Amino acid sequence: MLKRTLFGLLRSFEQSGDKAKDPLLKSHYYKLSKDKAFDEVLSTLKKMQGYKVLHDVPSVGEIVLEKRTVTGRTMDITVSVIGTGPVTSAVDIYSASRGSLGDLGANYRVILDIYRTLDKKLAAVKTTS
């Protein structure tokens, strides 16, 4: 966690993906078609405290959110739902803070928070790949 904070002094963004070195930032997979996964992810994000869905593009599988921090900074978050097969989908998240200073690991924590919430909501259909 200290390493994350130190990185956060310099970086103001974080993203998840298949090639992420941190295992907590690996893509999350669900046994749902892309459309169904998109609907589930969107409805879950809309209910999350402190996050505001700005727009969503079902055809592309993209949901754009914003979160305000306690210090008043705004974080722009893009959640991508990617169909990886007829009945499997992956979810990746990109989070960036507005402004020039680092985020002290806040974007990392936002990604983990969203994944934790999605995994809880979609526990029955979570898969490892």
Where are the domains positioned within the chain?
A: 2-127
* Residue 70, pLDDT score: 78
pLDDT tens-digit readout, 37-96: 999 999 999 999 999 999 999 999 999 999 988 778 899 999 999 999 999 999 999 999
Whole-prediction pTM: 0.90
**One-letter amino acid for residue 122 of the chain:** L
Q: What CA–CA distance (Å, rounded) separates 104 from 107?
A: 8
* Residue 3, pLDDT score: 52
Give φ, ψ of 16 to 5 degrees. Answer: -105, 165
CB-based contact 98:32 (threshold 8 Å): no
* Residue 8, pLDDT score: 47
At the topology level, CATH places domain 2-127 in TATA-Binding Protein (3.30.310)
Cα 117 to its chain centre, rounded Å, is 10
pLDDT tens-digit readout, 14-44: 999 999 999 999 999 999 999 999 999 999 9
| Residue 28 bridge partners (DSSP) | 91
Q: What CA–CA distance (Å, rounded) separates 111 from 129?
A: 19
